[in-house]
A and B are shown apart, each in its own frame.
Chain A
Amino acid sequence: MDRLVTATFLASDTTVRAGQGLLLALQLQIAPGWYVYWDNPGDSGIPTRVELQAPDLELGRVGWPAPTEIPAAGGILNLGHKEQLTLLIPATVKAGPRGPLELRGEARWLVCRADQCVPGQATLSLDLEREPGKPRGKKGAAPPAAIAEALLALPPEVEASFKDGELRARIPASGPLRLYPGFALLDLLPIGSPLPVRSAAVQGGTELRLSLSGPPSDEAFAVAVLSTSAGPRAFTLVMEPPR
């Protein structure tokens, strides 16, 4: 059998300077008919995860594309990705001596089709070169195509706030809405009941309210997908100012 998942780990830049921002990417190529899971896998499965040991980098929140709904027999609904999934991890280079900057880590996933699941993992390793001087600004070489494409697939961020037990956000699009809470929000939501979400059309978009049992963490996020007259549009609701 061919490999079900092929993992590639790459960075937007190979030479970096202290203070510079860069993007790391985990790309999973998935065999036809199979899927891996989103940050919140839905009714079953486990999330795809990447863990990095990178003492020379400050790592940000993982950027996820909008999930695809994958129904199974018995009313089970999963959230996942078919064909390919690229996770983007923003990073900032810390100050340190010139020389190789080592990135080591592990990616884990569960790859499934309707009748079976297979856990997988990959060891991640990447060496960047740290050179002296200040960041060069935006004039560096273009990032690899995989990263450029993943950036395009990343839903634009919308800042959400938490007040009176509700996460609130104003989304600049109109239409019927599906909300997918990320894993970090699941503990604040009821289990096995419909999502306590309300949305209302407002001037220039949609106002969304999601009842939570407590304040969300800074890393918490949700993806809202709206069926607009121009097709589906996804947005990532974040708890911090958009980056």
Chain B
Amino acid sequence: MILLSLIASSLAASSTPIEAGPVLSPGQPAATFVLPDTTGKTHDLAALKGKTVVLEWFNPDCPFVKYAYGEQGTLSALAGRWQGESLVWLRINSGAPGKQGAGSERNAAAIAEWSLSGPVLLDETGAVGKRYGAKTTPQVVVIDPAGMVVYNGGLDNAPMGKPEGASRLDYVDGALTSLAAGKPIDPASTRPYGCSVKYPD
């Protein structure tokens, strides 16, 4: 019976990872979701209330993600600096099965290759990605301890390390710094750049 109910709950989790609704922007309560990671373990956003949560859309075969983790390491360093007791960093891959960078095997390999200290959650239906308006990898959403979306946008203004504009702006680092200091986050929305999220056709 225990086995049966486990199967039932995992089926429920995979068929409805998130409640349907409009795209979430800063100032709105985060929609909770339940998603499995590459090991099959499920992660429930509702259980993380009281902590700051960073959702980072991830695709290990996207050149921008590779640049951030592999060649330059800025994203590894950023996540490493902020992760801790009060901040959880969740990478989410909303790629459909068979598409570039999707699937538990490829993402487990990326975790090993880049020594990632957190999980990669698999959102194969794309429902969580679409609800959070994820269009690119990397794209980042920050949820505050009260469960509100406080940032949604790009990692920085510098695709492949080349700033668009006069100077480099590290949006996510700035948002987390402001949040930690109890200051308003500005900008709370930016235009993300990168590869398109490989949603189901």
Contacts and interface: CB of A to CB of B under 8 A. Distances in A.
A90 B96 CA distance: 44
Contacts of B25: 192
Interface stretch (A16-24, A111-119, A200-208): A111-119
Contacts of B136: 43-44
Contacts of B153: 191
Interface in A72-91: 72-76, 78
Interface residues of B, number: 32
13 contacts: A44-B135, A44-B136, A44-B197, A45-B194, A46-B159, A46-B193, A73-B200, A74-B197, A75-B130, A76-B197, A108-B160, A183-B164, A191-B190
Contacts of A119: 63, 160
B191 A191 contact: yes
Nearest to A41: B193
Given A43-B136, A44-B193, A74 B61 contact: no
Given A74-B129, A191-B191, A192-B23, A44 B196 contact: yes
Contacts of B194: 44-46
Nearest to A119: B63
Contacts of A74: 126, 129-130, 135, 196-197, 199-200
B133 interface: yes
A76 B196 contact: yes
B105 interface: no
Contacts of B162: 49, 108
A126 interface: no
Contacts of A188: none
Nearest to B189: A191
B75 interface: no
Interface string B115-144: 000000000001001100101100000000
B195 to A, nearest CB: 5
Contacts of B159: 46, 110
A115 B100 contact: yes
Nearest to B159: A46
B62 interface: yes
Contacts of B193: 41, 44-46
Interface string B75-89: 000000000000000
Contacts of A76: 135, 196-197, 199
Given A46-B159, A192-B25, A117 B126 contact: no
Given A73-B198, A108-B162, 6 more contacts: A44-B135, A44-B194, A44-B195, A46-B159, A74-B135, A118-B63
A117 B66 CA distance: 12
Contacts of A41: 193
A41 B81 CA distance: 31
Contact of B196 (A43, A47, A191, A192): A43
A62 to B, nearest CB: 14
A56 B42 CA distance: 61
Contacts of A72: 196, 199
- Determine which residue in A43, A112, A119, A191 has the highest number of CB atoms from chain B within 10 A of its CB, and name it: A191
Given A43-B136, A44-B135, A191-B153, A117 B195 contact: yes
Interface in A101-149: 108, 110, 112, 115-119
Nearest to B199: A74
Interface in B137-162: 153, 159-160, 162
Contacts of A46: 159-160, 193-194
